[in-house]
A = this chain, B = another copy of it.
Amino acid sequence: MSKERVTLSHVAQRAGVSAMTVSRALRSPDKVSPALLRRIEKIVAELGYVPNPAARALASGRTNVIGALIPSVTNNVFSDVLRGIYAATEDGPFEVQLGNTRYSPLTEEKLLAVFLSQKPAGLIVTGIDQSPASRRMLEGASCPIVQIMEIGSGPIDMMIGFSHYDGAAAATRHLIETGSRFPAFVGARMDPRTQRRFAGFRDVCSAAGCFSMSRCVTTPTPSTVTLGTRLFADLVARHPEVDGVFCNNDDLALGILFEAQRRCIAIPEKLTVCGFNDLEMMAAAEPSITSVRTPRFAIGRRAVEMIVARLADPGPDTGRGAAERVDTGFELVARQSTARRPR
């Protein structure tokens, strides 16, 4: 292991060919004679040559970086998406560059400027509520772009996700159908997707004549399980009649489960709890919690695949192919407790 970094020309010299040939051998092996190819590969391995990505990017004006802007690295929802992105990236030439927008459109704007300056191969952005400036930047960008986790009209380029409104509506309908007469909403963070879930809840309740704004507790604070316990405590203090809760997400739902246990409020006999996203733990919960399953891993993976496909076949001369717009849907997972009741 010498201190000298080995470059393309070192390899070329050793192989007795030009740097260009080595470059080709590495990028399009079929354009080089098999014998030479093997010789070059051997030397590359011997010397431990690793291409300098900066030089490559500078010379070619392109990178193998797929930028992914997500609102949170801690939220399980996005770590599943991320896992999908990494899974799809694993065997290809692409690298992922992660950007954490922390639910701030302004942060997203800044990150976008930085990311775009790197000439990424593609870009993944979360949601459909980009700021006007962000939208402008994205529309001016010359790489494939996928908006993920939501579905809506006017995509910037490609789009894959589902309707949060519909998901919430389905959950709320289930709540009412299983007998809830005084349904409540518990939400935190209140980002655009949460807002649309709330709208779904509100509209279904209104149509059923059981909407009450006073039974909706929300806060801009990020959701946590502990926050769920507190919001639920507030709720039952003001509305002991509540017999069903639709939660913005599973963390809050779990908090409500715990708080209900603590207060000996029987689930599902006296209270039905419904979450959103159907995180892994929901399948194990006792008492059971219904949730809306969202294909987060698949969305992440598919987003990368859509970019790769576009790169392979840019399509018509528009500079941007036909904009794919994939509605993944969701799945209401209704659960019943399987506990043996204590004697």
User: Which of B79, B116, B262, B342 meets A286, CB within 8 Å?
Assistant: B262
**Contact, CB under 8 Å: B79 / A229:** no
Instruction: Report B-chain residues with C-beta under 8 Å of the C-beta of A117.
Output: 50-53
A46 to chain B, nearest CB (A): 14
A285: Cβ under 8 A from any B Cβ: yes
How many A residues are at the interface, by size bracket? 35 or more
A7 CB, min distance to chain B CBs, angstroms: 11
Integer count of this chain's copies in the complex: 2
| A150 at interface, CB cutoff 8 A | no
Q: Is the CB of A342 within 8 A of B264?
A: yes
Give the chain B neighbours of A116 by CB distance below 8 A: 50
In whole angstroms, what is the CA distance A300 to B101 when docked?
Answer: 18
Q: Are B281 and A225 in contact (CB under 8 A)?
A: yes
Contact A136 B79, beta carbon cutoff 8 Å = no
A9 to chain B, nearest CB (A): 15
Interface positions of A from 115 to 135, Cβ below 8 Å from B: 116-118
CB neighbours of A27 from chain B (8 A): none
Asked if A280 is at the interface (CB within 8 A of a chain B CB), the reply is yes
Is A100 an interface residue when CB atoms closer than 8 A count as contact? yes
Complex interface: chain B residues within 8 A of A80 (CB): 74
Do A83 and B74 contact each other (CB < 8 Å), given the known contacts A58-B58, A118-B54, A226-B283? yes
Docked complex Cα distance between A334 and B6 (Å): 55
Closest to A85 in B: B73
B264/A50 in contact, CB under 8 A = no
A242 is an interface residue with CB less than 8 A from chain B = no
Task: Say whether A225 contacts B284, CB under 8 Å.
Answer: yes
Stretch at the interface among A30-38, A204-212, A252-260: A252-260
Bound state CA distance, A224 and B114, in angstroms?
36
B100 and A98 form a contact (CB under 8 A): no
CB distance from A199 to the nearest CB of B (A): 28
Shortest distance from the beta carbon of A77 to any chain B beta carbon, whole Å: 11
Q: A226-B280, A286-B261 are in contact. Are A136 and B53 (CB under 8 A)?
A: no
Asked if A1 is at the interface of the complex by the 8 Å CB criterion, the answer is yes
Is B54 within 8 A of A339, CB to CB? no
The yes or no answer to A309 lying at the interface (CB within 8 A) is no
Give every chain B residue within 8 A of A225 (Cβ-Cβ). Answer: 280-281, 283-285
Across the interface, which residues of B come within 8 angstroms of A226, CB to CB?
280-281, 283-284
Given contact pairs A48-B113, A226-B280, enumerate 10 new A-B contacts (beta carbons under 8 Å).
A3-B142, A53-B118, A54-B58, A73-B82, A76-B76, A86-B100, A225-B280, A255-B281, A262-B338, A264-B342
**Interface of A with B (CB < 8 Å)?**
1, 3, 48, 50-55, 57-58, 63, 73-74, 76, 79-80, 82-83, 86, 95-98, 100, 113-114, 116-118, 136-137, 140, 142, 224-226, 228-229, 251, 254-255, 258-259, 261-264, 280-281, 283-287, 338-343
A-B contact pairs, 15 of them (CB 8 A): A3-B142, A54-B55, A74-B76, A86-B100, A95-B114, A225-B281, A225-B283, A225-B285, A226-B283, A255-B281, A255-B284, A258-B285, A259-B286, A262-B338, A264-B343
